[in-house]
Chain A
């Protein structure tokens, strides 16, 4: 077992080609282009780009962004299905010191409006599937990808000639991108990740689960989700290639794509693996030689691990635990699985996790409390939300920590265990959601007086309890109404009508009492 104090060779970057600017995340691709120029970096079903070509395009787009007057710390908001162009624009935005915001393509107009008013972007990216959200962008200039809409097409951003180098104008501690996630209130919050956050955490993760140059990594998770997005960094650190798939590919055709693309590294959430196992039992196909399977977002059941090992005998399975607010907390190594089957692993090297009691006092090993995290991977905070930032990143004992919102314990060997979630966050189908957001939307439906959202963990169902003034309002109607307002993963599976909802002493909905009703 590696010691927590061993120096991490990956933290020392290769020579920066004499460039004087500070390190920024696009240096991953620049270095890749000098080390493995002809290796394939990005691929999808229709095209593939080498490291050298990817870097050339990023430089070209960076120069274009500069010509448009996009500056250091300006925001660029992208709403598109997973595609190579999003990755190219993302790195180009980083290179000029601006800040990327990649949003889920199924985002609803209300949610998008709230994020646009918080981020005030200088540029947007849309495609045909998200064109219906165009109005929300108002006067913001737009780039269109993969369709004939509008007058600025993505292809126009890439010049024929060799692009001039654009030096990164910022510091390593500046924001690189925002990842929007459910906060403790109903309003989604943008977690501010800096260049050095990414550099530290990517190196620490790669020290624990090393990818190789010959690896082919696949993502079927949306790029708006940091778990999907960060794969582009890990691949570039190693010279591996990355297949940019889409969530809808994770159904019946998933196994066929894995085989056709010869995928060797598959990051997923438990529901994706559940589908894969079911499909392979139903219609077995020859499987690729999978080397690494990683899982986060939810508890990975032991039965899934056993089935995955049976299907992919060479594969190493890594259960992990993370939060967007620091990206990754812990990774369990395959060789540790047998001794600590219920653990989510040890914290990343160079970081610390401990449980605290209700008075924020550190608890001894084995005792359950809220997990707090310390280390260079802690994000700057939430975009333009100082109060919420102060709440989630308090200073305890003179050092800044992240409150995970999860209840758990750390054993004497330093392994983490998750025992439950606090009331303000729910993990469902690998996504994190705020019950407050679902409740707020529900209360906007005419006829709903009060709403309380909880998860039925035993049956993996998101449940909403409501009291109504309109007796004609039924479960199906409420679910349908919410499906117009919330992204699919946030729409409850079941709605229960109660004459009155239980309240806590200070008149808030008592979610604990609701869970007891289940």
Chain B
């Protein structure tokens, strides 16, 4: 995994979890993920998938609602870790 693959990969992970988003649409990175259909249960699946796909472990202090609030927040956290 390189930093350049990150945006694409994150899009791929996020899209199927956002049930209010049209399947072919680009995930708007600054939109509230809750509004796009991510509930707390889905955010647990999202966490697992991100950690597996990017080979990272999100530390406890970043495992907050804020990290999972938008695509950009997630991206910033992952960038720090890879």
Query: Which residues of A are in contact with B by a Cβ distance under 8 Å?
Result: 106, 246-254, 256, 271-272, 274-275, 278-279, 282, 285, 429, 476-477, 479-480, 483, 488, 491, 493
* Chain A contact residues, majority secondary structure: helix
Q: How far is the CA of A489 from the CA of B20 in the complex (A)?
A: 12
B44 touches A (CB below 8 Å): yes
B40 touches A (CB below 8 Å): yes
A491 touching B37 in the complex, CB below 8 Å, given contacts A251-B68, A253-B63, A479-B20: yes
Query: Contact: A491 with B20, CB < 8 Å?
Result: yes
Q: How far is the CA of A249 from the CA of B34 in the complex (A)?
A: 12
- B23 neighbours in A (Cβ, 8 Å): 476
* 3 shortest interchain CB distances as A-B pairs: A483-B20, A251-B40, A251-B43
Q: Within residues 34 to 82 of chain B, which ones have a CB less than 8 A from any CB in chain A? A: 34-35, 37, 39-41, 43-44, 47-48, 58, 60, 63-65, 68-69
- A493 neighbours in B (Cβ, 8 Å): 19
A256 touching B44 in the complex, CB below 8 Å, given contacts A246-B65, A249-B65: no
Q: How far is the CA of A278 from the CA of B48 in the complex (A)?
A: 10
A-B contact count (CB 8 A): 62
Q: How many residues of B contact A (CB 8 A)?
A: 22
Q: How far is the CA of A373 from the CA of B71 in the complex (A)?
A: 47
Query: Contact: A274 with B47, CB < 8 Å?
Result: no
Query: Contact: B48 with A282, CB < 8 Å?
Result: yes
Q: How far is the CA of A488 from the CA of B21 in the complex (A)?
A: 13
- A279 neighbours in B (Cβ, 8 Å): 44
B13 touches A (CB below 8 Å): no
What is the minimal beta-carbon distance from A147 to any residue of chain B, in angstroms? 16
Q: How far is the CA of A269 from the CA of B30 in the complex (A)?
A: 30
A278 touching B44 in the complex, CB below 8 Å, given contacts A246-B65, A248-B34: yes
Q: How far is the CA of A420 from the CA of B24 in the complex (A)?
A: 38
- B41 neighbours in A (Cβ, 8 Å): 251, 271, 274-275
Q: How far is the CA of A253 from the CA of B48 in the complex (A)?
A: 13
Interface centre among A248, A249, A275, A488 (most CB of B within 10 A): A248
Q: How far is the CA of A250 from the CA of B63 in the complex (A)?
A: 12
Report which of B20, B34, B35, B63 forms a contact with A252, defined as CB distance below 8 A. B63
- A477 neighbours in B (Cβ, 8 Å): 22
Query: Contact: A480 with B21, CB < 8 Å?
Result: yes
Q: How far is the CA of A251 from the CA of B65 in the complex (A)?
A: 7
- B48 neighbours in A (Cβ, 8 Å): 282
Query: Contact: B47 with A491, CB < 8 Å?
Result: no
19 new A-B contacts, CB < 8 A, other than A256-B60, A479-B20, are: A247-B40, A248-B40, A248-B69, A249-B40, A251-B47, A252-B68, A253-B65, A256-B63, A271-B41, A272-B40, A274-B41, A275-B40, A282-B44, A429-B39, A476-B23, A479-B19, A480-B20, A483-B19, A493-B19
